[in-house]
């Protein structure tokens, strides 16, 4: 079947095959899976992975590249290394507990606190979150400083970013600091994001099975939309209590894939 092909070229082709990527995000951010995911290294330039025992550090190549590139920008800006928490499981799909999204390898949580003095695996496994909002007074806490603003700004400027979820008070602070910056509309106010921000990338180009989210409205989002979030505090504080595991109907190509054991 290989008549007429130089054997040396055939050997070279076979040797290169592992380098080809079959990575794919399938379905929506809250009902999907991923194929050929990549693991974010435990540490790298400008970042550390935390709580790695959960094995939620897998993402699509575009997200892993984004996080590593962001880490380099963080170091260049002389900011403390960022702490990367949940991305997705190796096959994607819903978590046993926690988020509803993070299923296609295109979402990542980045904590707003600075890293601990010691960054051993044990320290990074048990590092506690730091809330940047005083919920009783409904104001930002003193822990939210310029370095947090800079980190969010660096994260939002990459064109691969679809949106970044932040607490409404954090969105307000970013609007006050950065005025009419064109990337401000990517910062979406959402309760439950006062100790971290949630980055969501666009579907990768050519990924036909990835379901994109609706486009963000034009403008900075710093006007009446944000004002309505600031005024309505009904969702500011969680009611607490355990939530039932989120179990959406997955796309057909995800159902058996996610059910398989690693």
Could you read off the pLDDT of 155-173 as tens digits, one per residue?
Answer: 999 999 999 999 999 999 9
Nearest CA among 211, 259, 262 for reference residue 55: 262
pTM of the model: 0.89
Where exactly are the structural domains of the chain?
Answer: 23-234+253-259
At the topology level, CATH places domain 23-234+253-259 in Muramoyl-pentapeptide Carboxypeptidase; domain 2 (3.30.1380)
- Indicate the range of 6-10, 113-117, 167-171 predicted with least confidence: 6-10
Alpha helix segments (H runs only) across the chain: 7-16, 61-76, 121-125, 146-156, 168-178, 224-231, 252-259
Tens of pLDDT along 9-23? 433 333 333 334 589
Tell how many helices (H) and how many strands (E) occur in the chain: 7, 13
**CA–CA distance, 244 with 55 (Å, rounded to integer):** 21
């Amino acid at each position: 079947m290989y008549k007429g092909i130089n054997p040396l070229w055939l050997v070279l082709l076979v040797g290169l095959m592992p380098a080809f990527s079959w990575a794919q995000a399938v379905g929506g951010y809250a009902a999907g899976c991923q194929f050929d995911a990549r693991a974010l290294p435990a540490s790298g330039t400008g970042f550390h992975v935390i709580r790695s025992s959960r094995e939620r550090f897998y993402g699509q190549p575009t997200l892993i590249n984004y996080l590593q590139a962001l880490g380099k920008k963080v170091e260049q800006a002389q900011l403390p290394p960022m702490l990367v928490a949940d991305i997705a499981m190796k096959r994607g799909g819903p978590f046993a507990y926690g988020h509803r999204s993070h299923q296609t390898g295109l979402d990542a949580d980045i904590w707003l606190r600075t890293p601990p003095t010691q960054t051993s695996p044990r320290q990074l496994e048990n590092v506690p979150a730091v809330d940047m909002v005083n919920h009783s007074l409904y104001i930002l806490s003193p822990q939210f400083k310029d370095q947090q603003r800079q980190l969010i700004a660096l994260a939002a400027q990459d064109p691969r970013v679809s949106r970044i979820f932040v607490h409404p008070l954090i969105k307000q602070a970013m609007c006050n600091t950065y005025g009419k910056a064109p990337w401000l509309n990517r910062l979406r106010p959402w309760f439950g994001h006062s100790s971290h921000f949630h980055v969501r990338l666009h579907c990768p180009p050519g990924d036909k099975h990835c379901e994109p989210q609706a486009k963000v409205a034009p403008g900075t989002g710093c006007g009446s939309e944000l004002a309505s979030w600031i005024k309505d505090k009904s969702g500011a504080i969680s009611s607490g209590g355990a939530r039932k595991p989120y179990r959406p109907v997955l796309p057909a190509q995800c159902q058996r894939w996610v059910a398989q054991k690693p």
